[in-house]
Structure 1
Amino acid sequence: MKKNFTLLAFLLCSVIGLAQIPAGYYNTATGTGYTLKTQLKRIIDNNNDGLPSERISTDPGYAGLYVTYTTSDIDLYYENNGTMLDMYTENPTGPDNCEFTYGTNQDDGTLGTAECQRYNREHIIPQSVFSSATPMYSDAHFVVPSDKYVNAQRGNFPFGRVNVATNTYSNGSKKGNNLNSGYSAGYSTTVFEPINEFKGDIARMFFYFATRYEDQVASWPYDMFNGTSNQVFDNTFLNILITWHLNDPVSQREIDRNNAIYARQNNRNPFIDNSGYVCQIYPTQCATLSTNSFEFENTISIYPNPAVNNEVTISSETELKSIVLYNINGQIIQEIKNPTRVDNSYKVNNLSSGFYLVQMASENAIATKKLIVN
C-alpha cells in the first residue's frame, strides 16, 4: 500500500528524535492488522503473557494521577514556565488565559463555574463508559489534567468536527453538532472539538485505549465505539481519529509525556513510539483517507512562491473549509476558517518573512504545501 502523509508530518517527525523505548520492548509486535493490535496489547497490559522481556503495567491509583502530572504534564513547550499543560485551555501561539500551578489550583470541590478556577482529571474516554473501574479509572495515558469547567462542558460527548459551535472556549476548543460530511460524515449530534495542536494527541490516546483494553472494550457502550474488540471504533469516529493522527504528528511533548508515564505505570503508548502502527492496524481506512488527500493536493497551487509583497494566492478547484499556516516548529501562525473564495482562488496576506507549511482542508481531504516568504 502506498501511504501519502502530509509534508508537515514528515518534516516534524524528522526532527523529533526517538523516544526512550526500552531495548526489545516491541520485539514481539511483528504482525499486521488486528493481530498487531493484540500483540501490542500483550506488551502494555498488566498480565504476564510470557513475553521474552515481560513488563507488567502497574496502577499508581487515582490520587497518584496528580503525582504523575507533575512530570508528565508540565508546560516546557509553549510558555515554558513550568505550569500545568492543559489541552483544553493551552494557547500554542500566545499567552494562556488560564495558568494552573500544581497543588495550588487543584479541584477541592468548589468553583469550576468558569474557566481558570480549578483543574482536575479528565477521562478522554469518559469514566462512565467503563463504570469507573480500575485500572482504566487511573490510567494516565488517557486521563489528563484539565480545566474543571471545560472538562464538565465536554462531559461525555464524543470528539468530532464541530459544524456550528454552540460553545467556544478560551483556546478555541468548541462544542456543537458534528459536521456530517467529508471525513466526519455519519454523525450529526453534539461533539467536542479540541484545537488542531492537540487533535493527534487525543487520537493516539484513543488508539492506546482500544489496544490496552482490547479484551474488555466490546462490552462498553459509547457513541464512538462499534461494540467489537477488533475495529473498536464506529466508522465515522475511526475516520476522524485516523485523520487527526495523520495531520497532527507526534510532538516532543507527547514523547516526553509517554516517557514520564512509563516511569510511573511501567507501560507505554505504542502509537507515540511508532506512529506507523495505526495504519498497519487499519490499512484500508488509511488508504482511503490518504487517496482522498493525494488527489486533492494535485488540484491546488500556491503562487507566487516565494511570496511577493507578503501575499499569496491559493488556487483550488475544490472549495476550502480552512487554511492554516504553520511555522517549521509546527505552531499555528495564521488560521482562516471558511475563507472567501473568488473565481476558485483565495488570498492570504500579512505574511511575515519565513518558511511555512500551508495546510488546506476541504470537506473530505487535507493537503499541505510549502511556502516561502522573503
Structure 2
Amino acid sequence: MLKRSSILVPVLLALVASCSPVSPSSSSSTVASSISSSGSASSDDSSDSSVSSSTPSSSASPSSSSSSSSPEVEERGKIEFTSIPKGGNFTLGMDNLKTQGVEIESVSSSTLFNDDTYRDGEVRMGTGKNAAQITFTLASPVRIAAIDLTLKQYKSYSAEVSVEAGSKKLTQAYTDSHYVFSLDSVDSFTISVTGGQNRVVLQGIDLLFTPGAQETPKPATIKVEKTGDGSILLDPVQGYMTGDTISVSAIPAEGYYLSSLLLNGESGTRLNAESYSFTIRDTENELVAVFRPSSQGSSDFSNLYANTSIHPDRGSQGTIDSYYKPIRGLKGEALKKGLHNLIKNHKAFNYGSLGQKTWETIDVDPFNSKNFYVTYQGSTSKGYSVNKEHTWAKSHGNFGTTAPAGSDLHNLRGSNSYLNSTRGNLDFGSVEHSSSTSIVGRFKWAEESMDGNYVDGKYFEPKDEFKGDVARIIFYMATRYEGEGNEPDLEVDGEIDRFRYYDFTAGATGLHGNFSDLYRWCTSGLDPVSDYEVNRNNIVDQDYQHNRNPFIDHPEFVVMIYDKSYDGPGALNE
C-alpha cells in the first residue's frame, strides 16, 4: 500500500464565504506563465518542444457555480505535483504529490512524459500511442461537488479532458476546466485526455467535497439471483443497513465454476477461494451469481496446432520428451513454476550484436529460403530492412535492452521501422475496426502486407496471422521472467476474469496486456501454431539461446496454467 499524504490547507478563494480564510498563494485561479520554443508535434514517446499558456475561461472558475445544486461544501482539497522527473517518461507515485485538505491513499497512472519544456509541478498528458490517464484513490469515500483542473495548452492542441468519478464521466474542452458532480460515495476519480493525438499540461486539481461518512445508515434489502448450479450463503443473513460490509460465499456444484459474482453490478473483495466481501451502498440491492459448467477435462487441443511439416526438434541437445519430462502431470501455478525452471538460465546475447542477418536467419521462411518473416506482415524477400521490435515492450518492466530480458530472441522480432514506432509500447488488444484505426487506411507509409493491423490510443491489434504468435510470446515472457536476481517479474494483465482465470500479477514489476484478448488469441484456434513458429523455436533453441518457448511446442499449456475451470489431465496428458 502506498503512503498516504494529508496536509490541511484551505483552497479555492471563490468559496471563501463558507470557510476559513485562504491565502493568495493557495488560490486556484492560476494564470500559467508563457513557455514557447520551436518544434513539431510527434508521438508521446519522443521529444515535443513547445507549450503555450492558457487561462481558463470565466465559466471554469469555482465562483461561477456557487449557485449550483451540489451539496453544501464543507471541505476543500488541492492536489499538486512535485519532484517530476526531467525528460523522458515516468509514472506518478505518492512522492510526486503535494496535497492540501484531502487524503489520498494511492495514485496510479499510465506512462507520462516531459520534454525540453519541463517545469517541475507540471504533467503532460496526451492521447496517441501512450494514452495518459491518472487515477487518484481517496483514503475514504466522499461526496464530490466539483473538480477544478488547472490546465495549460500544449502547443496548438485543443484537447478535451475527461474526469470520471463514480458512474459519471464528464468530457469538456481544456478551457472549461470546472466539472460539476454532486455524487455520493466516491472513493476515486480518473483524469484522461480524449480524442486523437491531443495533449495538455496538468498543473493541479482542486476538489470541493463533503465527507461521505456523514451519511445516515438506512435499512437495506438484498435480492439474490443465481444462474447455474451452485449455492450462495450471506453473512449476516438479515438486518442489513447501508454502509454495512457483508460476506458472500459462492460455492459451485461439482462440474461447475463461479463465473461472476456482482452486487449492483460491482465485484467485491476476495477473502478466500469461495468468499467475497461487499459494502452495501443502496437501500435496494441485487446480488447476481453466475455458475458455468467447467471444461469437463477435455484434452483435445488439436485445433491449436497447424504445423504439418515441421515439428519440435532439439538437435544434438536431446529429445523433446526428455526436455519436458520435469513438468509432466503439472497444472496451474505448479506448471508455470515448472516451466520457468525449465527455460531460465539460457544463453544471453548483447542487444547490439543482433541485426538484419539475425532476423534473416532466425525468421527464415522454412518453405522459401530467399524469404524471411517480418512481424505483423509475413514472408518477405531477404534484404527488406527491419529494426528490432520488443513484442513485450521493454518499458513494461523497464528492462530496456539489458540481457537477458532486453535481448531475449523469443521476444525480439524484425519489424518495419514505421510500424514498430506506431505500435510503440502499446498493449495488445482488440481495436474497433475503421479507416481511422487501420494501419493501411490511416498511414501513407503503410504497405499492403500490413493490412489487418489496427491501432488506437490504447491497443495495437495485429493481423489474424500474428495474433497467436504475439500471445504465445507474451505468455513466454510472463513465465520466463519471475523476478529472480536482477531480472524483472513480468506478468500478463488486463481484463482478467478472476473468477475464471488465475491472476499472477501481485508483486510484478512489469505488466502487459490485454489478458482477455491474448488468452483468446492463443487458445481459440484463431491463429494456431504454424510451421514457421516451430522452425523459429528450433533455431533459437539449437543455435542461439538453448531454451524453448513452451507455448509453441504445447499451446495447451496456457489453458492448463490459467483456466481455473480446467479439470483435465496435467501437462503431456498425465
Asked whether the two chains share a fold, i.e. TM above 0.5, the reply is yes
Within the candidate set 432, 445, 448, 1:163 is matched to 432
Q: Which residue does 2:561 correspond to in 1?
A: 281
Q: Which residue does 2:463 correspond to in 1?
A: 195
- Aligned pairs for 1:194-233 (under 5 A) are 194-215=462-483, 217-218=488-489, 227-228=505-506
**Aligned-partner Cα distance in 2 for 1:9–1:127:** 28
Instruction: Tell whether 2:529 aligns with 1:261.
Output: no
Q: Which residue does 1:306 correspond to in 2?
A: none
Amino acid at match of 1:146: S
Taking only the aligned residue pairs, the percentage that are identical comes to 30
Within the candidate set 82, 88, 92, 2:370 is matched to 82
Question: What number of residue pairs does the alignment pair up?
Answer: 239
* Normalised TM-score (structure 2): 0.38
Does the aligned pair in 1 maintain the 2:397–2:511 contact within 8 Å?
no
Amino acid at match of 1:213: Y
**Aligned-partner Cα distance in 2 for 1:61–1:158:** 26
**Aligned-partner Cα distance in 2 for 1:3–1:233:** 30
Say what the alpha-carbon RMSD is for the aligned residues: 3.1
* Normalised TM-score (structure 1): 0.56
Amino acid at match of 1:86: V
Distance change in 2, residues 1:8/1:277 (3 Å): closer
Amino acid at match of 1:252: D
Q: Which residue does 1:238 correspond to in 2?
A: 515
Distance change in 2, residues 1:275/1:74 (3 Å): same
Distance change in 2, residues 1:197/1:4 (3 Å): farther
Q: Which residue does 1:101 correspond to in 2?
A: 382
Deviations 1:271-311 (A, max 9, x none): 11122211111123779xxxxxxxxxxxxxxxxxxxxxxxx
Instruction: Tell whether 2:341 aligns with 1:58.
Output: no
Q: Which residue does 1:340 correspond to in 2?
A: none
Q: Which residue does 1:146 correspond to in 2?
A: 415
3-state DSSP class of the match of 1:201?
helix
Distance change in 2, residues 1:159/1:87 (3 Å): same
**Aligned-partner Cα distance in 2 for 1:5–1:160:** 27
Distance change in 2, residues 1:196/1:64 (3 Å): same
**Aligned-partner Cα distance in 2 for 1:259–1:268:** 8
Instruction: Tell whether 2:328 aligns with 1:38.
Output: no
Q: Which residue does 1:27 correspond to in 2?
A: 325
**Aligned-partner Cα distance in 1 for 2:302–2:538:** 26
| Cα offset, 1:119, TM superposition | 1.2
Q: Which residue does 1:337 correspond to in 2?
A: none
| Cα offset, 1:69, TM superposition | 2.0
3-state DSSP class of the match of 1:121?
strand
Distance change in 2, residues 1:25/1:221 (3 Å): closer
Within the candidate set 385, 390, 394, 1:123 is matched to 390
Amino acid at match of 1:130: G
**Aligned-partner Cα distance in 1 for 2:565–2:488:** 20
Distance change in 2, residues 1:276/1:130 (3 Å): same
Instruction: Tell whether 2:311 aligns with 1:18.
Output: yes
| Cα offset, 1:6, TM superposition | 8.0
Does the aligned pair in 2 maintain the 1:254–1:272 contact within 8 Å?
yes
**Aligned-partner Cα distance in 1 for 2:333–2:349:** 29
Q: Which residue does 2:171 correspond to in 1?
A: none
Where structure 2 has 5 or more consecutive residues not aligned to the other structure, the ranges are 1-295, 441-447, 497-503, 568-574
Deviations 1:105-150 (A, max 9, x none): 5xxxxxxxxxxxx410000011122320321111110110010110
**Aligned-partner Cα distance in 1 for 2:546–2:369:** 28
| Cα offset, 1:219, TM superposition | 7.0
Does the aligned pair in 2 maintain the 1:28–1:39 contact within 8 Å?
yes
Deviations 1:138-182 (A, max 9, x none): 1110110010110001001111111134242333243334xxxxx
3-state DSSP class of the match of 1:85?
strand
**Aligned-partner Cα distance in 1 for 2:553–2:493:** 27
Does the aligned pair in 1 maintain the 2:366–2:531 contact within 8 Å?
no
Distance change in 2, residues 1:271/1:90 (3 Å): same
Distance change in 2, residues 1:6/1:37 (3 Å): closer
Does the aligned pair in 2 maintain the 1:214–1:229 contact within 8 Å?
no
Instruction: Tell whether 2:363 aligns with 1:73.
Output: yes
Distance change in 2, residues 1:17/1:146 (3 Å): closer
Amino acid at match of 2:342: I
Q: Which residue does 2:77 correspond to in 1?
A: none
Greater Rg, structure 1 or structure 2?
Answer: 2
- Specify which structure has the higher proportion of helix: 1
| Cα offset, 1:18, TM superposition | 3.0
Deviations 1:226-250 (A, max 9, x none): 73369x978x722211211122111
- Specify which structure has the higher proportion of strand: 2
Within the candidate set 539, 551, 555, 1:271 is matched to 551
Does the aligned pair in 2 maintain the 1:217–1:229 contact within 8 Å?
no
